[in-house]
Amino acid sequence: MDYGRILQIIFTGCITGGLYALVAVGLNLIYGTMRLLNIAHGEVIMVGAYIAYWCFTLYGVNPFLSLLLSGLVTSFLGLIICKIIFLPMIQTGKSEETIQSNSLLLFFAISIILTNVATLLWSADIRGYSYMTKVVQISTVPVMLNRLSAFLVALVVSIITYLLIQKTMLGKAIRALIQERTAAKLVGINSNRLYLFSFVIAFGIAGLSGALLSMIYEISPFMGMPYTITAFVVIVLGGLGNIMGSLIGGFIFGLVETIGISVTSPGLQSIISYGIFIAVILIRPKGIFGRGL
Amino acid sequence: MISSRKKKYIPAIGIPALLIFLSILPFFVTDYIVSLLLDILTWVALTESWIILSGFTGYISLGHSAFFGIGAYVMAISWMSLPYPLIILISATSSMALAFAIGFPVLRVRGPYFVILTLGLSEFAKYIFINYEVNVKGTVGRILLGVPPIKTLYFSLLVIAFFTILCAYLIQRSRFGYGLFSIREDEDAAESLGIDTGIFKWLAFGISAFFPGAVGSVMALRRTYIDPYSVFDPIVSFQIIVMAFLGGMGKLHGPVLGACILTLISEFLWARYPHYYMIILGVVLVVIVKYLPSGILEIVGKLETAIRFLRTRMGCIF
Amino acid sequence: MHFLECRKVTKHFGGLTALMEVNLHVNEGEIVGLIGANGAGKTTLFNLISGVYPPSSGAIRFDGQDISGLKTHDICRKGLVRTFQIVKPFGNMTVLENVIVGELFGVHRDKTLVKAREDAIKTLEFTGLYEKRDTLGKELTIADRKRLEVARSLATNPRLLLLDEVLAGLTSTETAEAMKLLKKIRDEMGLTIFMVEHVMKAVMGLSDRIIVLHNGEKIAEGTAEEVAENPVVIEAYLGEKIKT
């Protein structure tokens, strides 16, 4: 295996990883603050992807602009879903396990609804568009410009998210809520408002990642589930609720997956992905940065 | 008010009567009605078998369709090589064997993580089959020719559904059932009272996998064309859950009710508006989980209580 | 040879040592109290004895058999059963059904359902829950839930009962009733009781012997009077002399 090929794998892995890191952040926020596993996460990404696709193919809007639009639309979706469905449920005072199981079913239902709405609106065909497909050379490795740009945007958004979480008061409150829910409430943190906020941000970032992904990959109403699975693996690897951890975990998983595919074959990507997912749940590691299942 | 003694006779007479009725019916109605009933029986069997695991132990599985898919594939592979009833038996047994094989590690995972694990496992199975079919066999789907007439399929499913309900019924009234319910209510407490929760969950898992395997094998013949996408479809698992929640998981006839209602709704919607059907199902599930966790039977139960209350108040007017 | 014996039992959780070389024993027919501040390691000890997790080192012997590392359900079948600090009733099952579970899966494992039901009724009568037999677990008051927890454990036909703060949260009337029941269990059924308690008056009044844990170590042992006078115990836990 020559040097160039290895470098290419690493590049591809990093780009994929960067995107995965962003994809995972949303799931981690909702899990960390509310202990809910959003299995509709991939479908929210899908919605973001379709919005960007729509804007580009119908109105010729620059996908980088529709990033914002996707993010806004999905944020709004998150707002509605959280307020109407989940906040009332958390407040019923049922046991944690009941709320978690019920939420899973609710998210499952939402994912089915979103998938079918998308199919109704845009048909089940796989769609895609070409944007920025010029190829540039980074040292000896050819990289498509759209991938590079997507990676850079993902990086920027990840850094912004990281700064938000680490440096702002809001971020501190969210971290407090993640680490110690009861105590956080006792010191006056308005948990309901923060739940809503995390939900909205999580959905927003998911929509944004969807828009980024639409620049590079083909999209379909059924593209969501694999991303949900990936996001889940990443957040377990990085430590549940650990935002920084999942950013790094995303990179690692992206690299591992890319290497795995290059060693075996692209057709096995799903099997590898789900295989890792299953292994991760069965073995339930504490994650690389602590805090396991 | 029915006295409790009379209550015992109703199922004793009612069920054989129902069975006889269902056995004679196909000869007096159109094939369309037979296939509709066949669908209902399919979902009844699938949902009841799901209840044996998820209803009784509380371990909610989103991957029940995997066993259905395995049954379908066993049939697709062995059709024409072996006698029909034998294949059904082998499908069911293979499905059960797989469940037993993976059961122990899988069931050690608790709560919501078990739920998503089952989803992951089902998808994993799907992609393994896709990969095998595409890479080893060349084409994704399989065709089954020379399938039995619809009445044969109907009677097969009638038998399968009957045994599924019978199995669930027997478990519910047995020592084993007590153990399963205890696990659902509080697994740690159950363990502390001497119940080997690991084995009990494992058994429930395996038993619950037997019947969908059988159902899958018959359905493969009905559809005459199968591929991994359709037989391992999460929609199958999804519909099972909606039916179970709709009908209520407390009583055995809950799933029957749920299956009937949903099959009839889908009959009207599926052919022309499958996506609307799915969306409606999604909304139904959301509503039920939020407001009616015990299913429609909860409403029926509340109505019954209300009526009884009114009766005692009104005295002899009723 | 003692009925229940812990020999140099130690438990580490990662870097934290919850129990350090604890030696204690319980004799058959005794009521022994286990007291100590929160975090002293009492529930950890109970979890070790009942098989929730194995000790890091040391041995636990029950009726001459080594039970360290056995699973909880196996330990229950040998006649050692525990109740939980936060009660765990089977909420959607009736009181009777709750106790039937105990009858079916305890020491005697081949009862028919009919026999289990009969035995359960006797257990309910013994523990004063017969009138509430058709009430659902989740509809019970806290005092009745505690009573149910005890009844359910009794149904398994144990010889040693581990009670984890069974008196917590009870009013003084309820506490007095519970104490009567516990004495009855020891006197009429010949059971041995090993109980963790914070309600000082009760544990001092009931116990033949008291063991005191502090920071994972046993710091004192003796009758209620001896323990109450013990300066080490007073400093660590009691704060001031308790009138026994």
Which pLDDT tens digit goes with each residue over C11-66?
999 888 999 999 999 999 999 999 988 888 899 999 999 999 999 999 999 999 99
Tell me the average pLDDT across C78-92.
93
Listed by start position, the domains of chain C span 1-79+162-244, 87-157
Per-residue pLDDT band for C78 (boundaries 50, 70, 90) equals: very high
Percent of chain A scored above 70 by pLDDT? Answer: 95
Per-residue pLDDT band for B17 (boundaries 50, 70, 90) equals: confident
Q: Which residues of B touch C67 (CB under 8 A)?
A: none
Please give the backbone phi and psi of residue C27, each rounded to the nearest 5 degrees, phi first: -95, 155
Judged by CB atoms closer than 8 Å, whether chains meet at B178 and C89 is answered as no
> What's the pLDDT score for residue B305?
75
CA angle C184, C186, C188 (to 5 degrees): 60
Judged by CB atoms closer than 8 Å, whether chains meet at C89 and B186 is answered as yes
Judged by CB atoms closer than 8 Å, whether chains meet at B116 and A278 is answered as no
> What's the pLDDT score for residue B3?
43
C1-79+162-244 CATH: 3.40.50.300
User: What's B292's DSSP letter?
Assistant: -
> What's the pLDDT score for residue A293?
43
Domain range spanning residue A65?
3-283
Judged by CB atoms closer than 8 Å, whether chains meet at C106 and B193 is answered as yes
Judged by CB atoms closer than 8 Å, whether chains meet at C72 and B192 is answered as yes
Judged by CB atoms closer than 8 Å, whether chains meet at B120 and A282 is answered as no
Tell me the average pLDDT across A138-155.
82
> What's the pLDDT score for residue A170?
84
Interface subset of B 59-118, CB within 8 angstroms of A:
60, 62, 105-106, 108-109, 111-113, 115-117
- Whether the CB of B199 is below 8 Å from some CB of chain C: the reply is no
Number of structural domains chain A divides into: 1
Q: Is residue A289 situated within a structural domain?
A: no
- Whether the CB of B283 is below 8 Å from some CB of chain A: the reply is yes
Burial class for C61, CB neighbours closer than 10 Å (0-12, 13-18, 19+): middle
Would the pLDDT of B255 be above 90?
no
Q: Is residue A264 situated within a structural domain?
A: yes
The pLDDT tens digits for A181-221 are 778 878 877 888 888 999 999 999 999 999 999 988 889 99
CB atoms within 10 A of CB C244: 14
Distance from CA of A107 to the nearest CA of B (A): 9
As beta bridge partners, residue B100 has: none
Q: Are B183 and B171 in contact (CB under 8 A)?
A: no
> What's the pLDDT score for residue A99?
81
Q: Is residue A171 situated within a structural domain?
A: yes
Per-residue pLDDT band for B11 (boundaries 50, 70, 90) equals: low
Query: Hey, what amino acid is at B144?
Result: L
User: What's B103's DSSP letter?
Assistant: H
CA distance C101 to C93: 10
Judged by CB atoms closer than 8 Å, whether chains meet at C106 and B194 is answered as yes
CA distance B304 to B32: 35
For chain C, the chains sharing at least 3 beta-carbon pairs closer than 8 angstroms are B
Interface subset of B 139-198, CB within 8 angstroms of C:
173-175, 178-179, 181-182, 185-186, 188-197
For chain A, the chains sharing at least 3 beta-carbon pairs closer than 8 angstroms are B
Per-residue pLDDT band for C124 (boundaries 50, 70, 90) equals: very high
Would the pLDDT of B265 be above 80?
yes
CA distance A293 to A218: 33
In three-state secondary structure terms, B305 is: helix
Distance from CA of A88 to the nearest CA of B (A): 9
CA angle C13, C19, C22 (to 5 degrees): 150
- Identify from A111, A113, A227, A268 which residue to disrupt to test chain B contact, counting B C-beta atoms within 10 A and taking the largest count: A113
Provide the CATH number for the domain around residue A208: 1.10.3470
Which residue has better confidence, B249 or A291? Answer: B249
Q: What is the mean pLDDT of chain A?
A: 85
CA distance C6 to C221: 14
Three-state secondary structure string covering chain C: CCCEEEEEEEEEECCEEEEEEEEEEECCCCEEEEECCCCCCHHHHHHHHCCCCCCCEEEEEECCEECCCCCHHHHHHCCEEECCCCCCCCCCCEHHHHHHHHHHHCCCCCCCHHHHHHHHHHHHHHHCCHHHCCCEHHHCCHHHHHHHHHHHHHHCCCCEEEEECCCCCCCHHHHHHHHHHHHHHHHHHCCEEEEECCCHHHHHHHCCEEEEEECCEEEEEECHHHHHHCHHHHHHHHCCCCCC
> What's the pLDDT score for residue B1?
41
The pLDDT tens digits for C189-234 are 999 999 999 888 888 889 999 999 998 999 999 998 898 888 888 8
Listed by start position, the domains of chain B span 30-233
- Whether the CB of A277 is below 8 Å from some CB of chain B: the reply is yes
Per-residue pLDDT band for B300 (boundaries 50, 70, 90) equals: low
Q: Is residue A293 situated within a structural domain?
A: no
Would the pLDDT of A288 be above 60?
no
Chain B residue with the nearest C-alpha to that of A97: B111
In three-state secondary structure terms, B3 is: coil
Which residue has better confidence, A183 or A109? Answer: A109
Would the pLDDT of B192 be above 90?
yes
Q: Which residues of C touch B174 (CB under 8 A)?
A: 113
Tell me the average pLDDT across A7-12.
85
| Among the ranges given (A196-210, B193-207, B248-262, C74-88), the one the predictor scored with the smallest mean pLDDT | B248-262
Would the pLDDT of B315 be above 80?
no
Would the pLDDT of C86 be above 80?
yes
Q: In what side-by-side order are the strands of the sheet with C4-13? A: C16-26, C4-13, C57-62, C65-66
- Whether the CB of A232 is below 8 Å from some CB of chain B: the reply is yes
Q: Give just the sign of the alpha carbon dihedral A181, A185, A189, A192.
A: positive
Tell me the average pLDDT across B227-255.
87
Chain B residue with the nearest C-alpha to that of C136: B185
Pairing of strands C209-214, C31-35: parallel
Distance from CA of B179 to the nearest CA of C (A): 7
Both tokens of A267, joined, read: 């057709």
The pLDDT tens digits for B85-143 are 999 999 999 999 999 999 999 999 887 788 889 999 999 999 999 999 888 888 889 99
CB atoms within 10 A of CB C177: 15
Look up the ipTM and state it: 0.90
Q: Which residues of B touch C106 (CB under 8 A)?
A: 193-194
Tell me the average pLDDT across B216-222.
96
- Whether the CB of A120 is below 8 Å from some CB of chain B: the reply is yes
Would the pLDDT of A287 be above 60?
no
Contacts of B215 (CB under 8 A, 6+ apart): B42, B45, B46, B49, B68, B71, B157, B160
